[in-house]
Every structure is written in structure tokens, then in C-alpha cells.
Amino acid sequence: MTSTQITLPEFSSAFDYIEPMTPVVSEELNINSDLIYEIQWEGLRVVSVCSNGSIALHTRGAQDVTIAFPEITLSLQSAIEDHDIIVDGEIVALDENDLPQRHAVMERWLTSSHHPNFFRYEISDILYLDGKWLLDMPLYKRKKLLHKVIKPVKHVHICRYSENDGSDIYGFSQELGLHGILVKDKFSAYEPGKRSPSWISLKYARTANLVIGGYTFGGTVLPFGTLLVGAFDQGEFRYLGNIGGGFGKCDVYMLYQLISRLHTDECPFINEPNLESFFYWCDPVLAVEIEFGELSPSGEIRFPLFNSLRPDIDSKECDLPLQLSA
């Protein structure tokens, strides 16, 4: 295996931001190495920096979400005891059947309101411990270290993983209604800010992150009809289709409040769609995750369903050619 030279970040306070390492998304496995299989919770990716008794939670887009999840912060203080530590993981919301609900995580973040779901931080990696960076340490050793230094408590768990053939993780993921699993080279270093082929988001359902560019009215009991979505093509925003379903689990009125604040007079798409119903254009700044059946020959999405808001993603990251979402 080729070694990777890691540039170590400066670490000065609990409020430093570390950009997380991200996986390459694929529908097939092409890593030729010993592997670790991991649950991909599809929650809110959060890197937690804990130093001198202070804790800061940051998303992959550098947004500080510490105050939005007070139960996570309090539990993490108990879980790490007296360590100075940086860990990577996902905040997930679980319903009464312990099934993950990504929309609930995003709604809690955006509104800071009470939500009936149970929130938990699933920690998957450790980057720094008590004055020492661990980025060059092989992943399997970082995993073992996590179990030594993190005490499982009510709202903090160590993410489930396996070093066998992955069938147990695959089966559990499908039971949870998730769209894929993470497959990682067990010897991989942690490379902040890099989308690395050493980590694969292995998908068995097609999902993608797109950007809202408008919405229609009429023909529905919802406060809007369909969402007009697209992606960026070499800096230009291209229309890819309408989303009219999948809103059952989402707070549609909160979503409507968000998109109604983004009105603009000019069409944001370079290929303006032909719309027969009443509509509003929106500034293309709010990302959403969708599930879809296939792409048409012209590149538009077919049979799309809304999955979740993705305010943690920069809309400019949603570009063409269309990438399956991690």
C-alpha cells in the first residue's frame, strides 16, 4: 500500500474547524485491500473538537451546530472524560422504532425546536488525542483506540462496524432503511478535506444532492406543488427536473418558509423549464437530497422523491456530471 503524507493542522482551541475526509460514491466495490464495513447513518456529519472542557460541533460545511444539540454536547463531555480530543461522526435522529430520520436532524438544526425523536452521536473516527495527531495512524488502530477512550453514554455511541465480509453491516443497514454502507481500507490514513478512494460509499439505492431553483403551486394539499431542482454545470445552473413526492416525513411548512425567502425575479436555470402552473424562482443556494429511478437521455432525473434538506452542503458542490450522494 502506498503511504500518504498528511499535513497536520494547527490545533489551538476547542473552536478550530477540521474539514472531514469524505468517501467516493460508487455502486460497486473496487478497493483491493483489507476492508472495514461501517454503517452509513445518513445523519448530519459532525466533527467535534473538545479541549479544556469546551466542545464545538461543526458540520462538513464549517457551520457551528453546538447549541442546536445540547444533549449531544452534554453526553460528549461525559463520554470523553478529561481528554482533549477530536472525533468524527454523524448525529442521527431515531424514531420510536429506532429507525433513522435524517429530516428530523436537519429540522432540529434549522429551527432549534423540540423534536420527538431521540438524537444520538455515532462516532466513527478519532483524529487527535491529548496533544497527538492520529491522522497517519491506520484506520483499524484508530477504531480500537476509540473503544479505549470513548465511554458509551446515552446520546453518544461508537458507530457499528465489521472487519469480516460485511454481510452483517449490509443487512443491518437495509433493516434501518438506509441507502448504502461505508467500505474503508483498514490501513487508510485520515486526510482532512479530501474525497479519497480509500473510502467508498457503496450505494444500493440511487440518491443525489441537488439544489432548489424554484417551486410551483397547485394540485396538492401542500403549501407548494413541486420543487424545481438542478445542479451546476461548469458554474452554470442547469434544470434537471421536478420533485413532487416523498414529502411525507418532512416538515413541509418549514420547507416552504425556507424556500419562500429565496424568491428572485429571474430564472436561475440556463435551460429554463416550460412550466404551465404558477411558480416562483429561487436563488439556488439550498441543497436537498433526492432518491431517483434513472436519468433520461437528456440527463433529467426520472421518478424523483424528496429525502431530506441538506443545509450542511454548499450548493456549488452539487454539480454535473450527476454524482450519487455520500
Treating both helix axes as pointing N-terminal to C-terminal, what angle do 102-111 and 252-260 enclose, rounded to 10 degrees? 50
* CATH number given to 22-203: 3.30.470.30
pLDDT band of residue 306 (cuts 50, 70, 90) is very high
Contacts 24+ apart (CB under 8 A), 172-177: 172/39, 173/39, 173/40, 174/204, 176/39, 176/99, 176/100, 177/99, 177/100
Task: Tell me the C-alpha distance between 205 and 293, whole Å.
Answer: 9
Enumerate the domain spans of the chain: 22-203, 207-317
Of 25-34, 92-101, 210-219, the one with minimum mean pLDDT is 25-34
Average pLDDT (216-225) is: 77
pLDDT in tens, 74-123: 999 999 988 999 999 999 999 888 889 888 898 899 887 666 789 999 99
Q: What is the pLDDT of residue 33?
A: 67
Shortest CA distance to 93 belongs to which of 123, 126, 115?
A: 115
* CATH number given to 207-317: 2.40.50.140
pLDDT in tens, 229-285: 999 998 999 999 999 888 876 778 889 999 999 999 999 999 999 887 889 999 999
Task: Tell me the C-alpha distance between 111 and 44, whole Å.
Answer: 15
Do the Cβ atoms of 62 and 45 come closer than 8 Å?
no
Task: Tell me the C-alpha distance between 91 and 294, whole Å.
Answer: 30
DSSP states of 181-194? EEEEETTPPP-TT-
Do the Cβ atoms of 100 and 50 come closer than 8 Å?
no
Is a pLDDT exceeding 60 seen at residue 10? no
Q: What is the pLDDT of residue 220?
A: 62
Average pLDDT (168-175) is: 88
Shortest CA distance to 34 belongs to which of 139, 125, 160, 136?
A: 139
Task: Tell me the C-alpha distance between 33 and 71, whole Å.
Answer: 38
pLDDT band of residue 154 (cuts 50, 70, 90) is very high
Shortest CA distance to 46 belongs to which of 131, 166, 156?
A: 156
Shortest CA distance to 269 belongs to which of 312, 303, 227?
A: 227
Average pLDDT (211-238) is: 88
Using DSSP, state whether 144 is helix, strand or coil.
helix
The torsion angle over the Cα atoms of residues 48, 94, 78 and 8, rounded to 10 degrees, is -20
Is a pLDDT exceeding 90 seen at residue 155? yes
Q: What is the pLDDT of residue 121?
A: 97
